[in-house]
Every structure is written in structure tokens, then in C-alpha cells.
Structure 1
Amino acid sequence: MAKGNSINTYHMNDPLYPSIRARDAPNIVDGFDSSTSDVRQKIRCEKIVICEQKTEGDVVAEAGAFGTIMLVSDLDDFSSLYPLPVSLVNLETNGSTGISKNPTATILRRKELSNTQAPYNSSFSSWGPNKINPQILKPDLAAPGVDILAAWPPTIPPSKVPGDKRIVAFNFLSGTSMACPHATGAAAYVKTFHPPWSPAAIKSALMTTGKRIQSKYPMGVNDSNNQNGLAFGAGNINPLKAIDPGLVYDATVSDYISFLCGIGYDASKLKHITGDNITCAQNQSSTDLNLPSFSDPVPRSTPISVDFYRTVKNVGSPQSKYIAKVVASPGLNIQVEPETLIFTAARETVF
């Protein structure tokens, strides 16, 4: 028995079906016998087909196969849905691919109970750094985007493969398009508790309360703990904690104008964006945009010193005290001034 991966909506009633390698299946197309690894639609192959590569399953389904087992070198970190029963099997995990003379197989419909690695950064996530301006850390944060149950239009088959006749109201999908509504919903949830808060304040609340997660794909970054801020930003969203972040980093239009001035925008470019005649002040810094994250490109093996200035607002208890705690990688010397913030009123601001 081999453990596979897919989203299977079918029940295979009989326990075992005859099986065949795709390369061994009859492959007659318009009278021409071609020796490829595909199973063509003009023959009937009422068996479970074993494919030595990942496919969309459309050709095998059109050939009348009962199902297909796809042998892959590495399983994806998300599941896909096919027009017939499918199991993706990892060759390395399940050993030899030798097949007996009269093989039989079936594809069981199982339920994954838990994933001890979750949550972790997926392979398709939107990675940093910010290529336009690396002084703004991207991504901001992470949200669930793998195997998400979502509404589905009745005009499109769930596998998106022509010939799939199924109609469903919901489907499992993976991608940043699935993470986006989670983040949007979390922001709307925070807004219901704090209607006056600006989008920047809500974003700050979500970021400062995010939970660090595993980065499964470190992209060559030397990080022994497998933690990479360019993968998940401030961490995984936690809406319950975000409604009470204690402090928020708010940002206004003037903050963004100062940032644009700091990266070289002139009055002409600013007018295209704002519609107003604005003159940049001298010595405006691009590192002082009032975001809850801090980022600056560092040349390899070159000492560098950078100052970041931020303004925080107390949205917690009127009598509040916050003490800075720094966890830095070797070679970094990070100082926070002042180390302690003491507030005596709600919505009090410290620069």
C-alpha cells in the first residue's frame, strides 16, 4: 500500500481493478501505432493506468480508465482535483516501481487527520524581497491558502478539464487567491471592533499579532531555524489577537508622500499620484515610512548602520507599559530607543 496525494471525490466500489502502465496500453491514433507514454482517447482502457509523470488526467479519463496512479519524484505541498480517481505517489517514499505480470490496484478514499508541520509557507507563496523597493518588507503577512474549500461556479467542472460533467457548489483550491480573502476577512473582522481605525492601523494590528511559521522553502537563505521573513512577513494572521494589539503603527498620506520623496520622486511625479502641487523637503528618509516592519538592503560582508524612526499609538489600556525585546541574528546589533514606553492615556501617541 502506498500513501498518495490528491483530492478524490469518487468511491471505487470494487476493491481491486486490473492495472496497466501507460506505456503498455494500446495507443492507436488514426491507424498509426505510436509508442508514447500517453493513453489516447480513441481506445478504451478500462483499467487503472499507472503514469510515470504528472498529468491533468484528461487523456486517461477520455480513454475510459477507471483511475490513474501518477508516479512523481516529489509530491506537491497542495492537492489537486482530477476528472477521475487519482493518487499521486512519491517514488522515493514508496520504493520500487516494479509491476507484476497481472497487477491490480485500487485508489482508496481517505481523510487526512492532521498535518504536524502546518502552518508552513507553501511553494507557490508570494515571496519577498520587494523588487521595486526592498526598504518595504514583503510579504506583509501570511494567511491560509492551501486546500481551501471555496464557492465554485456551476458552469465550470471542478477539475477544469473539458469532459468532466460534474457540477459542484464548492471546490478545493490552493493559491494566493485563497489567502487574500482570508486576510481581507480578518481585516474586516478587526474593523468591526474598531470602526475609526484606518487601513494602515488595521494592517499594523494584523502584522504585530501574527505568528511566526515554518518556511519550508528557504530559497538558499542561510537560516538554520528554517525561519525566513521574506517568506511569511510578520507571520500567520491571528484575527482574535489582532483586535487588541496594544500598539499600532498608523500611516497617513503625508507619510507616504515623505517616503516617495525619500526614494527620489519629484514634484512632477508626485502630482501624477496626488493631483496636488507638492514640494519635497530636504533629507527625507525612505526608511521612516510608519510601518510595523523594518527593512533595508545590506551589501554582503559590508558593515552598515541604519536608523528607523516610528510613531506608535496606544490602543490598549490607558495605563500601559511596553518593554522592547530584541531577538537578533549573529552579526546584528539592534538597539531600540527608548527601550520602555509608558502610556497614561488611551490613544496616546509616542514619536
Structure 2
Amino acid sequence: MKRLAVMITISAMMFFAGCNKTESAAQPDVETDSNKPTIILKEKEEVEEKTVYGVGDRVQVREDYAVTLVGVTELDPEEHQYDKDDQVILIELMFENISMDRDHPMYKLESRQTNGYDFGIRDGSYMVPDSKSPYFGQTVKYTPVGTKSLQRYVYRKENREDSIEIAFGDYLNESTEFNIKIGEHTAPDFDGTIPVRDDAYKLGEPLLLAKAKNDYTVTIDSVKKLEGMAEKLGYESGAVYEVTLTHSNYSLEKMGNYFDMVVVDEKGNTGYQVFLKYEGYPREVEGRGLQRVMHFVTHTDSEKLLLFYYDGYNPEKRSYFIEVEDIK
């Protein structure tokens, strides 16, 4: 029996060995060429859809600025000297300058007097409001770092629609898109704080703007609040301020619009310049120079203001800040 078991075991081993040999012979040799390219199939990447924002959405771009669409209002075209068939709309947005000083690359123009962005709507054209319009002059030229500005734009649309698409892009190719229903609106946020500047001048302290043969200075002589003027001009809140300033070494013959001034209220909001008739100004003051008066309206009634001054004649292209306190 033991001999029979050994013979069966040997026969089984020979059988399986023969099968393996047959199977191996049936497999052809595969030649590999290390020089041939290897094709690797990748999964298709999903394209992220661009976010479209609505009224009241605060969108921060990088660490530079933030923008909020406050609302879109349809205006009476005939009241604003447009054709009665035109669709005229008012767009309001809040722009916040978080960290950009005057040397930031977003400010493309050398004067640094533009916000450095492109703003527009589909199928519409920007219209400069008439000087009699309450929206005239309400596009702030410059928003100093640490402040925010409520900007108002009037557009005329060729095709009447219930909603509009708004594109807000900057010179660094960052684009933010909004889709807003006409008539949709939210209250603007004017809460904040006035920036503290270590380099700020004081009221009455001369600003030296050049170091050449034609040195000249600018002095903010006084700032006072005109009680009741904001209500008289049709503003629901805020106050109107009168700023008196003197340029030395300048005469009436040389006078021109070569400088810009922005007023910031105690909540950190920029105001707008308003043009009031004021008899006797500008005028030459003997021994001092050319004195003039400017008027600004703010969003909040403030006892403290920060003035931003920029002079295009200054070869240093420098900006100046003036703190004004205890305004009566």
C-alpha cells in the first residue's frame, strides 16, 4: 500500500508539471521598449463656476479692498434730462480701501487720483449727471487707505430689463460679478472709525509742497460746520463743512484746478464736494497768497475730520493728511 501511494503521488506531480509547462508555452513573450512613451490618462478636472454676488454681499479682493453693491434704483429719465423712453438707473456701491497706499500697483495713473478699477454694466453706458442733479459729483476720485466711500453712478440702458449684470474689475485683472434686480436695495453701512495718521498735519500748520525756486505752501486756515445746510441741499443725513485754505506764491492769474481734496468723517467715510456760491472768493490776501473756500458734505455729522490733500504741481507726488478736531 505504501508503495502504491508513493507512485500515485509521483504521477500527480508529473501531471501538474506538464500542465504548467503547456500553459507557459502558450503565453507569447512580450517585448518591452523603454524608449516608447508612456500614456497616462488623467481624470477630467472640474471647472469651478464663478460666483455671482447680489445686493448686500461684501466681497473682499485679496488683502487690498472690498466692495459691496448697495442697490440699483430706476430714475425718472425726464427729470434727469434724458429721453422718456430711456431706462435710467442709479447704481450705488460701497468701496473700502483696506490696505492700499498711494504706491500700490492698482493705482495705475501717476496722479493716484483714481480708484484703479473698471466698473460697468451690460448693455448700458455711463452718463455724467447734470450739475443740477443730486448725484452730480458723487463718484469719489480717491478713497484713502483705511476709509470707505459710497459711490453713485448713473447709467442709461438701451434695452429695458428687470435686472442687470454688473462687472467690477481692477487693473490687476481681478473681476467680481454681480446680478441685481432693479429696485433691490439695502442700507449702506457707514459704521467705522477715522484713520489715525502719525504723519498728519494740524489745522493752521503750513504744508511745504516744493523745494525749488517756486517754493509754495498750503495752509488749511479754518473748518466750520454750516448748520442746516445739509437739509437745505436735500441730504437726509450728515453735515456740510466749509474749508478755507491759502496757497502762498500764487495769484489769481495762476489759479487752476491743480489739486484735489477729500474729506473723511469721524466714521471713516469719504464725503463729496458741493459747489455753493460764495461771494468774494477766491481772493488775494496781501502777504499770504491766494485764499479760497471749498464746501463738502459728509455722511455723518462729525466733530472731527481728516482731510486728504494732493497737489499735481508737487514734484514729489506726495499726499498730505490734515487732522481737524473740535469742529463747531
| TM-score over 0.5 for the pair | no
TM-score (norm 2): 0.23
Whichever structure has more helix as a proportion of its residues is: 1
Where relative contact order (Cα < 8 A, 6+ residues apart) is larger, the structure is 2
Whichever structure has more strand as a proportion of its residues is: 2
TM-score (norm 1): 0.22
